[in-house]
Amino acid sequence: MATGTNQQAAHGAPRIVHLDKITMGGFEIPRPDIAHEWIEHDFTEPHDVAARLAGAQVAIINKVRLDAAMLGSLPDLKLIAVTATGTDVVDSVAAKAQGIEVRNVVGYAGTSVAEHVMMLILALARGLVPFRNSVVDGQWENGRAFCVFAAPVRDLVGQRLGLFGSGAIAQAVASRAQAMGMDVVFAGRQGQPAGEGRMAFEEVLATSDIISLHCPLTDDTRHMINAQTLAGMKAGAVIINTARGALIDLDALENALASGHIGGAGIDVAPVEPPPPGSPILRLAQRDNVIVTPHSAWLSAQAVTEVARRTGENVATFLAAR
């Protein structure tokens, strides 16, 4: 569904087209004060992108891909405002060559993601899913004891949390985990010796009760958690991933969970989103010791409001400077 302008556009006023408003969850991006034409589409299929951006000076996107060929067909386009941190959906080299500026939003979800990580850690350590299921399926009401031993439970105090990545989100997780009495360590790069403030990659795997991934997805980090690294992890360890889905080989993780070597997982991201039917992550979600959330770690009301505000600011400041 498309909607029109929020104010009467003057002749020659810039056209602003938001291609995937659905990714904002109903939060509104503030409109610029100058006269403009504002067009919104809840969702845009790849074959509709060129027609919808024809004549637009500004494109607002989240997951819509704009490759070199597409950009070459859009001579009027001057700004791509990405409602996210990552800009990998845009061919940045082609955009620069064509004089198109790309603006993104960074640092908006540190609190939201860190709190989501701690939620997953607590839920897995306390067996939230199986204990809830024991109430829903009647085990508690039909039992003879006052409680149900539905799953192993462990306190977080003294548990080692190994963090892979050391950016703002990882630091926010670290401070929260330390406040709960956890032993927090940061991992160095795979295959490299320990450095200042970093423990060797392999040692973090071997000694951590819980690991949490906060790395970008690169050729070096793709499937960094695989059959080999899983085998090197502490028996019964738990894996948290709120970063990028392809950091983990999910087939290998499924095997490690089935064998009992890995004690659980909390995953918020998938290699392909939304995951197609039959995907490994959907099979994993059926396990009592796995919690899968649909890329929702970032979307606290405060975080999405900030994305909307700063995207509107990116558009407004760009247009004001023209």
- Could you tell me which of 203, 171, 204, 200 has the C-alpha nearest to residue 188? 200
Q: Is 179 left (phi over 0), alpha (psi -120 to 50) or beta?
A: alpha
pLDDT in tens, 177-192: 999 999 999 999 887 8
Euclidean distance between CA atoms 207 and 160, whole angstroms: 7
- pLDDT band at residue 197 using 50, 70 and 90 as cut-offs: confident
Out of 28, 45, 65, 273, the active site residue is: 273
Query: What is the set of domains in the chain, with CATH numbers?
Result: 2-106+302-320 (3.40.50.720), 110-292 (3.40.50.720)
pLDDT in tens, 277-317: 999 999 999 999 999 999 999 999 999 999 999 999 999 99
- pLDDT band at residue 11 using 50, 70 and 90 as cut-offs: low
- Kindly state the average pLDDT of the residues 235-253: 97
Out of 198, 223, 295, 309, the active site residue is: 295
What pLDDT does residue 322 have?
Answer: 84
Amino acid type, 120: L
As a residue count, the chain comes to: 322
CB count in 10 Å sphere of residue 49: 22
Is 322 marked active-site?
no
Cite the DSSP H helix spans in 4-109: 49-53, 68-72, 92-97
pLDDT in tens, 92-144: 999 999 999 999 999 999 999 999 999 999 999 999 999 999 999 999 999 99
Is 295 marked active-site?
yes
What pLDDT does residue 5 have?
Answer: 47
| High-pLDDT (> 90) share of the chain, % | 91
Query: Does residue 6 register a pLDDT over 50?
Result: no
- Kindly state the average pLDDT of the residues 249-257: 98
Euclidean distance between CA atoms 3 and 199, whole angstroms: 53
Q: Where in the chain does DSSP place strands (E)?
A: 2-3, 15-18, 37-41, 58-61, 79-82, 101-103, 160-164, 183-186, 210-213, 237-241, 262-267, 290-292
Query: Does residue 3 register a pLDDT over 70?
Result: no
Is 28 marked active-site?
no
Out of 244, 254, 306, 310, the active site residue is: 244
